[in-house]
Chain A
Amino acid sequence: MQLVDAELQESRQVLPGQWLQQYHAPALAVSARAGQFVHVRTGDWSGLVLRRPFTINTADPATGSISLHFREVGRGTAWLTHLRPGDQIDMLGPLGQGFAVDPRNRHLLLVAGGLGIADLRMLVDEALRDGRQVVLLYGCRDASEVYPSSLLPDEVEYVVATDDGSVGHHGFVTDLVLDYEAWADQAFACGPLPMLRTLAGLVAGRKGRLGVATLGRKRGGGRPVPLGSPAARKKAFLQVAMEQNMGCAVGACLGCVIWGVNGPQRVCREGPVFAFDEIDWEATAGVGTHTR
């Protein structure tokens, strides 16, 4: 974790209301892992007192640049869209625990709902770099919001679902998961809370439904690992990236908790990536909502 001055290199609107900005921040680019985030300070003139957390969308250690993908939802993000190339902003990062891919796994299933793609985009790069196969399932409201495939590497199998059926599958992205879950070794998801809750429900019954999950394993599945430990995370079939309103983003203020099975979990410190069985899905109502 460090405080850096990042220089805006490029800013463009990739989708209606959604921006992709590239910053020069070599310290972050070399140390960031997929799923981690930066805490960005907005301008003082606006009377905003909190930083804004953004997942690192991509990081390129070679050029020392990182990119952020965000939606303009309030005054803080509006301020960011008005920046010009060359402007410096203050970032704290990289923060949080990223995605933990089990090194033995070859087939990764990524499920993104809307802006959730911002959390998973860097995992695509990391997985392809490590020689894994990636299927990306993407769900959104209609054709106008579909994430451009030009922003994705060619090696990804990219499947789209829209709520109104204007492109791809007509329905929720979670409907597509059943086609791929037998193929997948591990799954990663980010998106609206109902989507994540549905996925967690699907995954909870997976072992029984597929009936092959324990083949080749010792009886009992080996040594038990405590819930929430790095080992348990890595073994979990589904990892989800959560979001919550945040204060300090370093674990001091306890403002960004979500309700886990073992009590409150800080999204900024224990998360933002959790194994699906760490979250108390019934109690996690209200996550990802904003006052404005």
Chain B
Amino acid sequence: MKAKKRVVTYGKAAPPSRGAAGGPVPNTRRTPTVRTIRSAIVEPRPASAQRPPSPATTPPVAGRARSAVDLSVDLGRGLVLRNPVLVASGTFGYGVEYADVVDVERLGAICCKGTTLRPRQGNRPPRVTETPAGMLNSIGLQNPGVDAVLERYAQQWAGWQVPVIVNVAGESIEDYVEVVRKLDLVPGIAGVELNISCPNVGKGGLQFAIDQEAAAAVTRAVRRATELPLIVKLSPNVADIRPIAAAIAGAGADALSAINTLSGMALRADRTGPFLGNTYGGLSGPAIKPVALRIVYEVAQVVGIPVIAIGGVTGLDDVLDYLAAGAVAVQVGTAIFADPTLPVRLVDQLGEECGRRGLASYRPLIGTALPNRPNAASAKGVEYRP
């Protein structure tokens, strides 16, 4: 274990930037700083000590005392979220699109749209269609490239309390590494989610997710390139997820998120061919929840790092299901399209549910459905793995 760990600070005044002597100091509110780590385990504290006392940096919502329950979650390497409800990559843009109708600061974290090294135009339209209790999408990783993303949004993100996790996609290990290098040490980037499982791009991406060696290799390469908290997003389009998840965890990922979309397709109304411009699309929504639940259940039993569940979360019951299956946090995706305020409401509802059950923390809800075993699923940071 290294002597020093870098910790991303939220909601606390950052110390003056030591590296940039004399130079203009950028927005330092969430500049990653280096310091000796005390304990990344977030101990349940009395309600009075819930938040740092500094009034200048306390978010405005704190005054209303929404819940006395400790919802914070540590995803490893100092990435501590205030609550376990995230928004999934691709459904929330870059966090600014829904700002008119959603209080983004109340989310646990935002996973931004998949970002690649170079700009991508994405797939031919049409790209989305509704299916029974779900939807198919084949966006094809349309994005302006990592440089443009940082230029347009990083400064804004740095001013937010909510951590922004950049979803990174690529066609080769070198692509991933280069994107992550560009993200490293940028204020406003709280972590990286590796998208090794996008089903909608012709080459690259998916091949990393279906092969445990390749998955481990890309994880290891990215791990070497950055000290940012690293989440790897798993694909359900594999026969057995467990060896892949274990390999990724062993290669140094701080957390796993599961699952990406399931590969699927739809036909035109006249049945003359595939409907989507890309022929195949990724299925998401409530339709895939049983699949995601199975994968979370399996993965949580073979890895010691936190698992973030994704797939068809539309209400508190889904959140509780995923927690019981061993996830420490959930991402809300497709449901945002119908109900943009759902993630924020889920935060409130989870707090109320814990209060109703007399819990000081939501952590006792985690893993209750898992078979008993000595090495239980962890809600703690990676460095505290037994």
Residues of A near any B CB (own CB < 8 A) = 1-3, 41, 47-51, 76, 90, 92, 244-259, 263-264, 283-284, 286-287, 289-292
Contact = CB atoms under 8 A, between A and B. Distances in A.
A249 B338 CA distance: 10
Given A50-B128, A244-B126, A245-B130, 10 more contacts: A49-B338, A50-B135, A50-B338, A245-B126, A245-B127, A251-B97, A256-B128, A264-B125, A287-B125, A289-B126
Contact of A3 (B127, B135, B335, B340): B340
Contacts of B334: 49
Contacts of B286: 47, 49
B124 A49 contact: no
B338 A291 contact: no
Contacts of A263: 121
Nearest to A46: B133
A264 B142 contact: yes
What is the interface residue range for chain B against chain A?
35 or more
B220 interface: no
Contacts of B126: 244-245, 286-287, 289
Contact of B125 (A49, A248, A259): A259
Please give me the 7 A-B residue pairs with the lowest Cβ-Cβ distance, nearest first. A252-B93, A255-B128, A252-B97, A1-B100, A47-B133, A49-B285, A250-B97
A249 B93 CA distance: 11
Contacts of B128: 50, 245-247, 253, 255-256
B101 A2 contact: yes
A258 to B, nearest CB: 6
Nearest to B102: A3
Contacts of B339: 41, 90
B384 interface: no
A121 to B, nearest CB: 26
A248 B266 contact: no
Contacts of B260: none
B122 A254 contact: yes
A41 B90 CA distance: 20
B134 interface: yes
Given A252-B97, A253-B90, A291 B127 contact: no
Contacts of B130: 48-50, 76, 245, 291
A89 to B, nearest CB: 12
B336 interface: yes
B121 A264 contact: yes
Given A50-B130, A246-B128, A254-B139, A3 B122 contact: no
25 contacts: A1-B101, A2-B100, A47-B286, A48-B130, A49-B130, A49-B133, A49-B134, A49-B286, A49-B334, A50-B130, A50-B135, A50-B337, A90-B339, A92-B101, A92-B340, A245-B129, A248-B93, A251-B97, A253-B128, A253-B139, A254-B122, A254-B127, A254-B139, A289-B268, A291-B275
Contacts of B135: 49-50, 247
B336 A292 contact: no
Interface in B92-144: 92-94, 97-98, 100-101, 113, 121-122, 124-130, 132-135, 137, 139, 142
